[in-house]
A and B are shown apart, each in its own frame.
Chain A
Amino acid sequence: MELLKIEDRNLFYSGHAACPGCVEALAMRHILNTLGPNTIAVVPPSCTAIICGAQPCNSLQIPVYQTTLESSAAAASGVRRALDAKGKHDTTVIVMAGDGGTYDIGFQALSSAVERNEDMIYFCFDNEGYMNTGAQKSSATPLYAATGSTPAGKPSKKKNLTEIMAAHEIPYAATATPAHLADLVRKVEKAKNIRGTRVITILIPCLPGWGLADDAGIASARLAVDTGVFPLYEVEDGYRYTLNQADRTRPVQDYLTMQKRYRHLSAEELEEVQAAVDRSWARLVERSTAVPVE
């Protein structure tokens, strides 16, 4: 068995208000462990904001600036430039935002920051919906998933943030999950040593939002990867693809049936979802095995 070896730097304190079993809090813990204390985080309204604590308490040892929902990437740019003006080029600036503040209302600011190649690491905690306000749909919600605003299942597909970031040709875009901690830590460490905009999208199974038991967050994330629904991969400079998993080992059904938000799925819809996953997997394999034109 591969043993985890992560230096625990005690930068995240107990007593925070995440739901029991919340794997977003878990991801935050290990992101901070990897980045270390010379970091400033920008956080929009989100579960992350609640996890940061209620005034005057802070669950993170690093400074956190909470901005408005649209403006994470812009606010982080402000922090970055101000630090640079002060000569503090080694302080890492990160964003920890949800999918709402990234794929939707925050998308414009993100695209702009990315176009400017602002020096920051942008972590999107993708729990596939506006979970903090009670699980309404976002453009990160997958096809057919039931949410507070799409009770019969979302009629449209999930946006692919990593591919959009790749199209912006940022130095580093990657996917990760809290179930694959060694992989997550490796990617954060790698990102830390790159300059420019780095975007890591982390799949966060939301227990109340997706309909999972308190202890099922890690298992669900693991299945997302094993079924190919959320493949682990990296894209450097927009064209060098690296797939971090050898293959898919489970059918999509195994991942979907664990979640209440897919209970209503018909057999045809399930087939459609499997076919879509098959197609996007094939595309990913093609890109990761192609010899890039340099």
Chain B
Amino acid sequence: MNTRIVTGLCLLAACLGGGPNAIAQERPVAFTNAELLPISGPPIAPGTVIVAGGTIAAIGPTATTPIPPNAETIDCTGRVIMPGLVDTHSHVGGGWGGDASGPIQPDVRILDSINVRDSGFRKARAGGLTTLNIMPGSGHLLSGQTIYAKLRKASTIDDVSIRDAAGKPLGGMKMANGTNSQKDAPFPGTRSKSAALVRQKFLKAQDYRRKVAEAKGDAAKLPDRDLEMEGLLDVLDGRVVVHHHCHRADDIMTVLRLRDEFGFKVVLHHVSEAWKVADQLAKAQAPCSVIVVDSPGGKIEAMDLSLATGAMLEKAGAPVAIHTDDPVTDSRLFLRTAGLAVRAGMSREKALEALTLAGAKMLELDARIGSLAVGKDADLVVLSGDPLSVRTKVLETWVEGEKVFDRDDPEDRLFAVGGYGAGRDQKAHACCTDERLSETK
């Protein structure tokens, strides 16, 4: 690819306000003869998926799906293609949210502290991940605003952020209950205190909202701007989803009780004991994002953690996604977590959906990602075989029509398998920097 043309496009895109995100895929790509796992429909084999302009232009049986004349064709015989994996709970990038000053910090944004050159991003691409919800930790009742990120090649956080039509970066709000967020004052010392602190803060936000409404736009009557209150209003008004860390069954039910009191949208994360209240969760249609780890324990709240949580929630009829909680589980082995869920009784279909479309729905991004469907972002993973086999390799990862991981590339391979240098932060990906680097070689 001509670097100068890319530079030009880059600058042009910047003028239009879209940043490097807006680099359009130059030429359509046709992946042919693959076994396609669209997730939103039955497998297609042999199938063709055509991506153009960063989105999926066509999908169907190879025999009946015409290839545009100007398309680059990639023969994927023997390969499996599925949507790029969606991780509803990740900590890659070394970001920190709230500090030790208090238990509730809705003004704090994780996007202000993420290093997009962190090797974790490259490892995540090597695992077939294309969308992440990058969150601050669980050591607070509310540790800050999360960011929804696409694993595009990136130099700044703006390059990875997913934006709404108005250009605002999208994300959720991270909350937690149980023992992680309990410590010395001003943090809570008990579960009841945790709930009381959260309720008091949301009541305050409701008052703030009332004052804003009563001012009817009159500048003289408007309350002073308050970043904390604005963060909570996004939650109360349903613009932002709460991503709530919880393990024990009673903590899970506490989250639902707060949800019902304040009317916010919530995804329940980890849910170690969700299997004990699976029927209640199904009845509440509470989205559950499950962690799959190799043993119970590690802390008392996780003592009854079960590999069968996904299976039992599926059986009860609750929405189920699976997440990495990277670094708790390795993004490169995200597919493995679905394999273990199937081992413990989850259906293949629901387990694969739990890595893709179910997560996309929980991030409210399912109109754009999570399945192979015409019009959706061209985010996909090319696999060497069955997604649930230990021996299957992620061969390529594509984001919006651009290849962001290629196992045949030695540098990418290093991050896929590890080795000397795999822990180091990645090189810059800016077009201009690449050009300068290549000139100095």
Q: Do A and B bind each other?
A: no
